[in-house]
Each structure stands twice: as structure tokens, then as C-alpha cells.
Chains A and B, each alone.
Chain A
Amino acid sequence: MKPLLEVNIHKLLLKNPVMTASGTFGYGPEFEDFYDPSVLGGIVVKGTTGQLRQGNPYPRMAETPMGMLNAVGLQNKGVDGFIKDIYPKISHYNTHMIVNVSGSTVEEYIEVAEKINALEHIPAIELNISCPNVKEGGMAFGTSCPSAIAVTQAVREVYKKTLIVKLSPNVTNIAEMALAVEGAGADAVSVINTLLGMAIDAETRQPVLSTITGGLSGPAIKPVALRMVWQVSKAIKIPVIGLGGIMTATDAIEFLLAGATAVQIGTANFIDPAVGPKIIAGISDYLERHQIADVRSLIGGLRTS
């Protein structure tokens, strides 16, 4: 018998615990030549704001050992552009399409969340209070408990479906932040967004990124992400979605053992655009090899004595 892969994130029943992370999978169609996006447990689409944004100037990316820094800065068509141009092209996918919601002000988050709430085929939003690459809003909301509570509560009032909050790792105590947003009405948390970092060109003595600092992703951050998922999952009752440097099925299993109910694949999509199904198959193989009938029994299954 094939092991059961289904997991629940609040009201969402995911066919498997593998989702793709915001900003790394476009909206889905970008990867259709490589596999059918509907095989995924969920897809979190690019960060969406109230108005169209051009994002930061080039250069926006720096490669690092086992990772990369980005400073894209929420380039997107704005929520109205999303609803008009993109939503019709992705609403047929047979998976959970989740919109990552971003903003500079609480009002902007509310505006975007309200408009997305009206879309039949979007069962959840991921509130991005952790983008390190915008001057206003973003991470500023996610690095202090009072502001994280304020924006989560405000969105909770207008958003009736599953509300996921994506936490920033750029804090002293992430469990405290998770508790704060749980108390403010979040249904799940995504842990973690990128770590703030920078890259310097020694020859020119200049920063590599136009914004000087950017968000670090890739395997370089996996140990930090695992630690934070473990800390958060012990502190809160709502489900944790783990992400940060997952490249293989083994990486994904480690996140589940640390306490994640599901995982998101991010930067790995850039290295292997067909990685999604491989991770799903690899999780299934692991379960068979360990004679585990249901992936749910792995969640938080870390053995500590």
C-alpha cells in the first residue's frame, strides 16, 4: 500500500505536504513545461500588493555559497492586475492556490486581503509580514509583536478563509512572534522567510545588490530554518509550514520531523525546475522504507531523549 500523504492546514486538505514558496514559482504556468503544477499540495504565488510595483533596481540578486541573496522588492501587477490578468489563468489548477499578501500599511494589507477573499478558487492567503526588501511595511510588521498582532488582527477581521502568516527569521525570539500571530487569529504560520544578508564586491568595493542588503535563501539557511520550525512548533497549536533551503526529499522530511505539517520548496525551483514531484515521490519512498503508513505520523516525530 502506498503511504498516505494528505495533511491538513486548517481547513485545507493538501494532497501531499509539498507546496511551492512565494516568489520562486511564479504563478504556476512558468513551470508547466516541466510538470503539472496540480500535483503539488499547494502553490503560494508571488507577493501581491495594493498597487502595481516595479520592485527594486537591478542588480537584485547575488549568488552566495550554497544560496543566493535577492532584493526583488515585491515587483508585481498589484491585486487588481492579479485578479484581471493572472487569476483566470491559474484558477483551473487542481491544487490549493494561495496568494501571498504584502503591503506598506495595514490599510493596504486589508485592501488586498478583502479583494482576494472574494476569489472562489483562492482558499487561503499567506500574509507576508517578513519581506526584507521593501522600505516600508514588509519585515517592519514582522519584527515586533505589537505590529505583527495589529496587521494580523486587522486582516483577520476582513478575511474569512484560511489565514497563514509568514514569519521573519530576523527576530530574537521567533516563538514569541508565532504566539503573537496565533493569538491574533492566524490559522497557520510559514517559517521562515529569507534571512537579511549582504554581498560585497571586493574589487569595486561596492555592494552587489542595488539595495545593499537582501534576503538570503537556499541550503545555507536550512539549519536556521529547521531550528526555528522546531521552536515555533513547540510553542503554538496551529500548523507550521516549514521552508528554508529545502532541496531534497530528505530535507523536507527533516522539516516534518522538526514539527512542520507541510513544507514549501523555494530556491530549489531555480536549480531544478522539475524538483517538486521528485520531493513528493521521495517523501513517499521514505515512508515506505520506514514502513510508515501515514505522513502525519512523522510530524514532530523528532526523537530526543
Chain B
Amino acid sequence: MKKYIHDFEIIENREINEGHFVLVVKLSEPLPPVFPGQFAEVKIEGSPNTFLRRPLSIHDVDYAANTISLLVQRKGDGTTHLGTFKPGDTLNMVYPLGNQFHIGSAGEKVLLVGGGCGVAPLLYLGKILAKNGIKVTTLMGARKGDQLMEPEQYQRNGELLITTEDGSEGTKGFVIHHEIWRERNFAFDRVYTCGPDAMMKAVARLAARNNVPCQVSLEQTMACGVGACLCCVVDTTTGHRCTCTDGPVFDASELKNWID
């Protein structure tokens, strides 16, 4: 799939909770095809210690408006500075990068599991799945209720389940503690997950126990984003592979030591 370097115009910078914001960026021409699971390498101008681009998940795509949404966590200098960008500012992106989530066939029931800002790629994924006649359930986990990432957005794609560590909203505990995982409740053909590694590993094991495939979207420190520098490797059953070009989506069974 062809990659582009484009200047986007920021049309919205929406604070969604403490530590997270959504940027909506617009292209002045029709958007090229962008698939769920792909990411953009974003240049953060004006942050002196941010030398490299930042890889950010595609959160949503609106072809009618030629906009892409990015859900960003303020993590270091770069993302904190990105949070100060205002409508009208320019954002340079190299995109769309990486592979994509595999979409099954109509009639499937699938479970999307996101932890923290790891839900970022699951909004657009859920939208495309639903469009393909697949029944979507999104399970979103957060530390507490006010750290959820715009949960109402995911309800458009299907059922939404919530867990919070302090029990302030939904089921108390981690995503893996939700009753949906109990054998008598589990009725999914496929699991998709994105979030902290420990969470994704636990989810992948639960999926394996229920004998369904699990696709995971990895986050690694990156430089080029196009498979040239070989910095973002992950250990797989076939050796080191690049998260940026062979991923970011992998089947959990391909990853070494993920499923025992």
C-alpha cells in the first residue's frame, strides 16, 4: 500500500480526560485508503528534544470529511507539546504505515479489548467490522471512570463493556476479570486487543483458552516507521521482525513467549 508524506491541518484538539487528547486532522485532498490497525509517523515541530517522529495509531477515519483522528497520551516532551497544537496548525505525517487487522466474514462475533489509550485503534476497527456485518463487542478498561476514553463513541459500533480498577464504573478489576471471559459467557469467534503488553498477553491467553485467534497491536519505540532502521523489532517464532512493517498487528501465536 502506498505511503505518503502529507501536511494536515488540525481542525480539532479535544481534551478527553486527564492526560489524553484527540487530534482531528484534515487533508486538503481526498484521503488515500487507510486501514484499521495502521499508524502514522507524526512530526512534532517546536519540541527541541523531540528528534524523531512519533508513531501514533489511526483512531478514526472520515473519508467524507477527509479527516483522521489520533488519540494521544501525554507521555513525554513530544506528546505533551503535541497537545498544545491548535486548530489551524499544520501536522506533517508519514502514513498510512504498517499492516492491518485481519477482518473476518460477515456474521462473526468478535471481542475488541482495549486498555488505557490502547483503545486508540479499536474505534476505527469496530467501525469497519460493523460495516462488514460483524457483531462487535468492545471491552474497555481504565484505572478509574474518569480515565475512560470517550466510551460513548464505541457504542456506535456495538455493545460496550467497561472495567475500572477502582470499580468507579463498570466491573471492578482489569479487563481480564470481566465475566464475559467465563466459559459459559464466551461466545466470540475472534479477539482483537491493544493496550499494555501485560494486559494483551493475559487477553491472548484467555483467547487461546477459549480456542479463538487473537490479534494484538504492539507498540514499540520506532525510528523510521518504514522497515529501514530495524529498531522496533519483536521476537517472533520466525525471528526478529519489524513492528512497523510486519506489524503492528500480529497474531498472538506468532509472538514468542506470549501464549504458553
The yes or no answer to B4 lying at the interface (CB within 8 A) is yes
Kindly state the separation between the CA atoms of A67 and B220 in the bound complex, as whole angstroms.
18
The yes or no answer to A218 lying at the interface (CB within 8 A) is yes
The yes or no answer to A85 lying at the interface (CB within 8 A) is no
Q: How close is A61's CB to chain B, nearest CB, in angstroms?
A: 4
From 209 to 254 in chain B, residues with beta carbon under 8 angstroms from any chain A beta carbon are 220-235, 239-240, 245
Kindly state the separation between the CA atoms of A68 and B52 in the bound complex, as whole angstroms.
8
Q: Are B230 and A72 in contact (CB under 8 A)?
A: yes
> What DSSP secondary structure best describes chain B's contact surface?
loop
The residue among A61, A64, A267 with the most chain B CB atoms within 10 A of its own CB is: A61
Q: Which of B48, B49, B223, B239 makes the CB contact (< 8 A) with A270?
A: B223
Q: Across the A-B interface, how many residue pairs have beta carbons closer than 8 Å?
A: 89
- Chain A residues contacting B229 (CB-CB under 8 Å) are 23-24, 61, 70, 72, 270
Known: A61-B221, A270-B52, A273-B224. A33 touches B2 (CB 8 A): yes
From 1 to 25 in chain B, residues with beta carbon under 8 angstroms from any chain A beta carbon are 2-5
Q: How close is A76's CB to chain B, nearest CB, in angstroms?
A: 9
Q: Which of B2, B43, B51, B228 makes the CB contact (< 8 A) with A31?
A: B228
Q: Are A68 and B51 in contact (CB under 8 A)?
A: yes
Kindly state the separation between the CA atoms of A72 and B227 in the bound complex, as whole angstroms.
13
Q: Which of A64, A70, A273 makes the CB contact (< 8 A) with B51?
A: A64
- Please name the residue on chain B nearest to A20 by beta carbon: B228
Q: How close is A47's CB to chain B, nearest CB, in angstroms?
A: 10
- Chain A residues contacting B94 (CB-CB under 8 Å) are 273
Known: A271-B51, A273-B94. A55 touches B233 (CB 8 A): yes
Kindly state the separation between the CA atoms of A279 and B94 in the bound complex, as whole angstroms.
19
- Chain B residues contacting A34 (CB-CB under 8 Å) are 3, 5
> What DSSP secondary structure best describes chain A's contact surface?
loop
The yes or no answer to B59 lying at the interface (CB within 8 A) is no
From 150 to 175 in chain B, residues with beta carbon under 8 angstroms from any chain A beta carbon are none
Q: Which of B3, B235, B239, B245 makes the CB contact (< 8 A) with A58?
A: B235
Q: Are A271 and B52 in contact (CB under 8 A)?
A: yes
**Looking at chain B, what size class is its interface with the partner chain?**
20 to 34
Q: Are B228 and A24 in contact (CB under 8 A)?
A: yes
Kindly state the separation between the CA atoms of A269 and B224 in the bound complex, as whole angstroms.
7
Kindly state the separation between the CA atoms of A275 and B239 in the bound complex, as whole angstroms.
31
The residue among B4, B51, B52, B245 with the most chain A CB atoms within 10 A of its own CB is: B51
- Chain A residues contacting B26 (CB-CB under 8 Å) are none
Known: A24-B229, A34-B5, A75-B233. A63 touches B52 (CB 8 A): yes
Known: A75-B240, A270-B52. A26 touches B223 (CB 8 A): no
The yes or no answer to B53 lying at the interface (CB within 8 A) is yes
From 252 to 305 in chain A, residues with beta carbon under 8 angstroms from any chain B beta carbon are 267, 269-274
Kindly state the separation between the CA atoms of A201 and B224 in the bound complex, as whole angstroms.
22
Kindly state the separation between the CA atoms of A63 and B53 in the bound complex, as whole angstroms.
10
Q: How close is A215's CB to chain B, nearest CB, in angstroms?
A: 12
The yes or no answer to A120 lying at the interface (CB within 8 A) is no
- Chain B residues contacting A31 (CB-CB under 8 Å) are 226, 228
Kindly state the separation between the CA atoms of A256 and B29 in the bound complex, as whole angstroms.
40
- Please name the residue on chain B nearest to A66 by beta carbon: B51
Q: Which of B220, B225, B231 makes the CB contact (< 8 A) with A70?
A: B231
Known: A54-B240, A58-B234. A26 touches B5 (CB 8 A): no
Q: Are B5 and A272 in contact (CB under 8 A)?
A: yes
From 13 to 55 in chain A, residues with beta carbon under 8 angstroms from any chain B beta carbon are 23-26, 30-31, 33-34, 46, 54-55
Kindly state the separation between the CA atoms of A66 and B47 in the bound complex, as whole angstroms.
11
Q: Which of A33, A72, A271 makes the CB contact (< 8 A) with B3?
A: A33
Kindly state the separation between the CA atoms of A67 and B4 in the bound complex, as whole angstroms.
24
Kindly state the separation between the CA atoms of A260 and B109 in the bound complex, as whole angstroms.
62
The yes or no answer to A60 lying at the interface (CB within 8 A) is yes
Q: How close is B81's CB to chain A, nearest CB, in angstroms?
A: 14
Known: A65-B48, A270-B52, A271-B51. A30 touches B234 (CB 8 A): no
Q: How close is B99's CB to chain A, nearest CB, in angstroms?
A: 15
Kindly state the separation between the CA atoms of A150 and B61 in the bound complex, as whole angstroms.
58
A-B contact pairs, 20 of them (CB 8 A): A23-B228, A24-B228, A24-B229, A33-B3, A34-B5, A54-B239, A54-B240, A57-B235, A63-B50, A63-B51, A68-B52, A72-B230, A75-B230, A75-B233, A75-B240, A218-B51, A269-B228, A270-B52, A270-B224, A271-B51
* A contacts, CB < 8 Å to B: 23-26, 30-31, 33-34, 46, 54-55, 57-68, 70, 72, 75, 218, 267, 269-274
Query: Other CB < 8 Å A-B pairs besides A58-B232, A270-B229, A273-B94, 4 of them?
Result: A46-B230, A62-B221, A269-B228, A270-B52
The 3 residue pairs across chains A and B that have the minimum distance between CB atoms: A61-B231, A26-B228, A270-B224
